[in-house]
Amino acid sequence: MKVISRVYGIKEYVTRARREGKLIGFVPTMGWLHGGHLSLLRSAREECDVVIMSIFVNPTQFGPSEDLEKYPRDMERDKKLAEDAGADVLFAPSTGEMYPDGYATYVEVVGPLSQTMCGGARPGHFRGVATVVAKLFNIVEPDKSYFGQKDAQQAVIVKRMVKDLDMPLEVRVLPTVREEDGLAMSSRNSYLSEDQRRQATGLFKSLKRAEEMARGGEVSAQSIKEEMKRILLEGKSVRIDYIAIVDADSLEALDEVRDNTLIAVAAFVGGTRLIDNTIIHHR
Amino acid sequence: MKVISRVYGIKEYVTRARREGKLIGFVPTMGWLHGGHLSLLRSAREECDVVIMSIFVNPTQFGPSEDLEKYPRDMERDKKLAEDAGADVLFAPSTGEMYPDGYATYVEVVGPLSQTMCGGARPGHFRGVATVVAKLFNIVEPDKSYFGQKDAQQAVIVKRMVKDLDMPLEVRVLPTVREEDGLAMSSRNSYLSEDQRRQATGLFKSLKRAEEMARGGEVSAQSIKEEMKRILLEGKSVRIDYIAIVDADSLEALDEVRDNTLIAVAAFVGGTRLIDNTIIHHR
């Protein structure tokens, strides 16, 4: 596996690969790789000729009081994991390489998509995400790019951006990968103490219960939210940020669960903000 | 010359051309073609294998009180001019094709580049420009794209965006093309009455005088601006929007003219807003 830290280095690599007619798969990450990232890599490996992963802890998507500084990093471990999962190239730029002096351009998906759910709690977050993903797409010029369903709103926003800006690539969104007890894999899980780790399963449990209620015919978003809240707050260190029941594409709030409904939760467990979600499909 | 109105049609054409290793040149315009546009086309023709021109009067770069509705349009005339100047493809999408229902993504170059000069008079204008140019670049995937120096601030902003977002193309900025009496060619010149047309030459005359003063050793931006103002206001229907003396790359205001100084003017002649500029090179 090649490790490249400069934009021109990747561009050179990609230009050659494209000239050879290779199909390029791309997995953008912030590193501290877990099973979710690796499942994206494996899909890219199956579907593409060349697999590029990026590791970049993107400062523009962190708020001033968020965890940019302490976000977990271990490049040596990540390199080994990426190589074992089949990456051909790891792109790991510095912040100065991505945002040099005089940098001034931002991509923004405006309106409800960016303002609800995590957008409410993290103003500017999705502008940072859209901007860095647009940059990475222009650098890597992938045919297919891979994202995890765990970050449901991010996936919707990236798909919206790609469609709106006519970007020449396909966005693949793959299922959330979970620990044995259901906790969605996340780099931020490493912040949890043993006790918090136990309480963190409440997110998954609350979503399972919501699915069960929906399957049983419950349509009231209010009733489902109340039941989810009850389950979440069984964890003594849990503070709910939001429970959202929305259309899975437009993210518009729904009073009644219907086909293609996204049920999403964000909660602090101790100081760690975790998210998880499920999509209800009728029929 | 092919005329294509759908995004997928251009994407299909471009994908084939790229597969064949063709170098793609792109000239984005709002139509009502004049000698400036045609000089861009001719350069693209010389430098590239395939030349694509777009004609799209982009609503997102017009303010609510601006001339979107009455902006001059004549597709049949433009088709003939584009074909004669060597275009292989004319991309002429509808507004609905470019901004379908649910459209929500914008590209913005923030800070002084977008706020000074025309950005002050036309809030949101350069956000509209950056957005549509980003879309067009993603649709056409050009190797080289051509812009006129007449729209100096637009050229700086597009170059900034391309650099910041790592877009895989070269931006070529070509000299302003002028009428015999020096008036910069512009689609908006067609709004001018005969009398206003005469007064409009004041923009060019004021810039010539500024160049002359700079060549003669005058460095004071203030003195040059005052002299330019005097010349411009010889036109009874002229109202000055701004005279700017700025660094040609950063657009930061300068008190003293130095190498690479952009001297730019925007003025209303009657109801028509015209712009023009020159760059001072020392040595």
> Three-class SS string for chain B?
CEEECCHHHHHHHHHHHHHCCCCEEEEEECCCCCHHHHHHHHHHHHHCCEEEEEECCCHHHCCCCCCCCCCCCCHHHHHHHHHHCCCCEEECCCHHHHCCCCCCEEEEECCHHHHCCHHHHCCCHHHHHHHHHHHHHHHHCCCEEEEECCCHHHHHHHHHHHHHCCCCCEEEEECCCECCCCCECCHHHHHCCHHHHHHHHHHHHHHHHHHHHHHCCCCEHHHHHHHHHHHHCCCCCEEEEEEEEEECCCCCECCECCCCEEEEEEEEECCEEEEEEEEECCC
Q: Which two tokens stand for residue A272?
A: 């760690």
Distance CA B126, CA B131 (A): 8
CA-nearest of A59, A24, A58, A61 to A44 is A24
Instruction: Indicate which residue of B34, B37, B281, B282 is catalytic.
Output: B37
**Cβ contact (<8 Å) for A105 and B160?**
yes
Taking only the tens place, the pLDDT of each residue in B220-261 is: 999 999 999 999 999 999 999 999 999 999 999 999 999 999
Distance CA B205, CA B276 (A): 10
Q: Looking at beta carbons, which residues of chain B come within 8 Å of A107?
A: 105-108, 134, 165
Which of A11, A106, A164 lies nearest to residue B103, judging by beta carbons?
A: A164
Q: Looking at beta carbons, which residues of chain B come within 8 Å of A139?
A: 166
**B37 among known catalytic residues:** yes
B4: contact with A, CB 8 A cutoff: no
Return the residue matching tokens 């409800």: A112
- Strand B105-109 relative to strand B144-148, pairing: unpaired
Domain positions in chain B are: 2-174, 187-277
A105 → chain B, closest CA residue: B109
- The answer to whether the beta carbons of residues B40 and B88 sit under 8 Å apart is no
Confidence band of A89 (pLDDT split at 50, 70, 90): very high
Model pTM score: 0.96
pLDDT at position B121, please?
87
**Cβ contact (<8 Å) for A106 and B107?**
yes
| CATH, domain range A2-174 | 3.40.50.620
B169 → chain A, closest CA residue: A138
Q: Which two tokens stand for residue B218?
A: 């005058």
Taking only the tens place, the pLDDT of each residue in A105-131 is: 999 999 989 999 999 889 999 999 999
Radius of gyration of chain A (CA): 19
Question: To 5 degrees, how large is the angle CA B232–CA B121–CA B139?
Answer: 115
Return the residue matching tokens 């100084």: B261
The strands making up A24-29's β-sheet, listed across from edge to edge, are: A2-4, A89-91, A50-55, A24-29, A144-148, A170-174
- The answer to whether the beta carbons of residues B143 and B49 sit under 8 Å apart is no
pLDDT at position B184, please?
98
H-run or E-run covering A146: strand A144-148
Q: Which two tokens stand for residue A263?
A: 């049920």
Q: Looking at beta carbons, which residues of chain B come within 8 Å of A168?
A: 11, 138, 141
Hey, how many other C-beta atoms are within 10 angstroms of the C-beta on B24? Answer: 23
pLDDT at position A63, please?
93
- The answer to whether the beta carbons of residues A243 and A250 sit under 8 Å apart is no
- The answer to whether the beta carbons of residues B254 and B261 sit under 8 Å apart is yes
Q: Mean pLDDT over residues A178-194, rounded?
A: 97
A117-146 residues touching B, CB cutoff 8 A: 130-131, 134-135, 138-139, 141
B110: contact with A, CB 8 A cutoff: yes
Q: What percent of chain B has pLDDT over 70?
A: 100
pLDDT at position B183, please?
98
Q: What percent of chain A has pLDDT over 90?
A: 96
pLDDT at position B166, please?
98
- The answer to whether the beta carbons of residues A247 and A262 sit under 8 Å apart is yes
- The answer to whether the beta carbons of residues A261 and A247 sit under 8 Å apart is yes
Residue B21: partners with Cβ closer than 8 Å, 6 or more residues away:
A19
> CA of A10, closest CA in chain B: separation in Å?
11
A33: contact with B, CB 8 A cutoff: no
B65: contact with A, CB 8 A cutoff: no
B96: contact with A, CB 8 A cutoff: no
pLDDT at position A189, please?
96
Q: Mean pLDDT over residues A159-172, rounded?
A: 98
**Cβ contact (<8 Å) for A168 and B135?**
no
Distance CA B190, CA B176 (A): 17
Phi, psi of A262, rounded to the nearest 5 degrees: -90, 125
A189-218 residues touching B, CB cutoff 8 A: none
Q: Looking at beta carbons, which residues of chain B come within 8 Å of A7?
A: 166
Q: Looking at beta carbons, which residues of chain B come within 8 Å of A166?
A: 7, 11, 135, 138-139
**Cβ contact (<8 Å) for A21 and B19?**
yes
Kindly state the DSSP code that residue A60 receives in the 8-state scheme: G
Which of A108, A141, A166 lies nearest to residue B135, judging by beta carbons?
A: A166
Reduce the secondary structure of A197-255 to three states and give it as a string.
HHHHHHHHHHHHHHHHHHHCCCCEHHHHHHHHHHHHCCCCCEEEEEEEEEECCCCCECC
Which of A21, A141, A164 lies nearest to residue B104, judging by beta carbons?
A: A164
Q: Looking at beta carbons, which residues of chain A come within 8 Å of B104?
A: 109-111, 113, 160, 164
CA-nearest of B187, B205, B203 to B242 is B203
Confidence band of B270 (pLDDT split at 50, 70, 90): very high
Chains A and B form CB pairs within 8 A to the count of 80
pLDDT at position A153, please?
97
A7: contact with B, CB 8 A cutoff: yes
Hey, how many other C-beta atoms are within 10 angstroms of the C-beta on B243? Answer: 23
A166: contact with B, CB 8 A cutoff: yes
Q: What percent of chain A has pLDDT over 70?
A: 100
Q: Looking at beta carbons, which residues of chain B come within 8 Å of A167?
A: 138
CA-nearest of A36, A22, A272, A41 to A176 is A36
Q: Which fold has domain B187-277?
A: Pantoate--beta-alanine Ligase; Chain: A,domain 2 (3.30.1300)
pLDDT at position B12, please?
98
State the number of CA atoms in the 13 A half-sphere of A125 facing the CB: 21
Mean residue pLDDT across chain B = 96
Which of helix, strand or coil describes residue A71? coil
Distance CA B267, CA B161 (A): 27
pLDDT exceeds 70 at position B128: yes
Which of B107, B139, B168 lies nearest to residue A107, judging by beta carbons?
A: B107
Q: Looking at beta carbons, which residues of chain A come within 8 Å of B170?
A: none
> Dihedral, CA atoms, A240, A244, A248, A254, nearest 10 degrees?
170
Q: Mean pLDDT over residues B52-81, rounded?
A: 95
pLDDT exceeds 80 at position B283: no
CA dist list (Å): B44 to A39, A55, B78, B84, B160: 44, 38, 17, 13, 21
pLDDT at position B282, please?
81
Taking only the tens place, the pLDDT of each residue in B180-197 is: 999 999 999 999 999 999
**Cβ contact (<8 Å) for B105 and A108?**
yes
SS3 content of chain A, % helix, strand, coil (to 5): 40, 25, 35
pLDDT at position A283, please?
63
Which of A108, A110, A138 lies nearest to residue B165, judging by beta carbons?
A: A138
